[in-house]
A = this chain, B = another copy of it.
């Protein structure tokens, strides 16, 4: 598979892809919107999902809830066309920029998974810290799109 990591200088400033997968075989992935720069989601890839994403130019992730490679949009139709893939200094995280057209990336129905904001400043009550909605309109109705699919959110 990908080149073996045996030299820190090469990992940081070399010319080869030498990704680091964690103890579960996963690397974290940031997905941003090509049109707006907004972060759409945070996910994970395994070796195979990364390879598929590079080769097909459509985002593939590792679904931790379903424990399998997941071609994003397979059910919803909201595929992500990959415009660019970047890797960070120590090659243990990935940033992909994608085109989702007028679609959505969040299973709750919003365009971005990051639809809520945490207010800054002195916390009055940490147990009742209220967050604010930054997106107020769902792009789709998850009940119609996902039907009987189990919800990936875990407590």
Interface residues of A (CB under 8 A from B): 1-3, 5-8, 11-13, 15-17, 20, 28, 30, 32, 37, 39, 41-42, 51, 54-55, 57, 82, 84-90, 93, 95, 106-108, 110, 113-123, 126-131, 134, 151-155
Contact assessment for A84 and B16 in the assembled complex, using a CB-CB cutoff below 8 Å: no
| Copies of this chain held together in the complex | 2
B residues in contact with A87, CB < 8 Å: 114, 116-118, 131
Q: A32-B39, A153-B11, A155-B6 are in contact. Are A107 and B128 (CB under 8 A)?
A: no
Contact assessment for B57 and A95 in the assembled complex, using a CB-CB cutoff below 8 Å: no
Bound Cα distance from A1 to B128, whole angstroms: 10
Q: Main secondary structure on chain A at its contact with chain B?
A: loop
A19 to chain B, nearest CB (A): 9
Contact assessment for B154 and A90 in the assembled complex, using a CB-CB cutoff below 8 Å: yes
Bound Cα distance from A152 to B118, whole angstroms: 29
Bound Cα distance from A30 to B118, whole angstroms: 14
Q: A39-B30, A86-B118, A106-B89 are in contact. Are A131 and B2 (CB under 8 A)?
A: no
B residues in contact with A85, CB < 8 Å: 117-118, 120
Most B Cβ at <10 Å: residue of A5, A42, A84, A130: A42
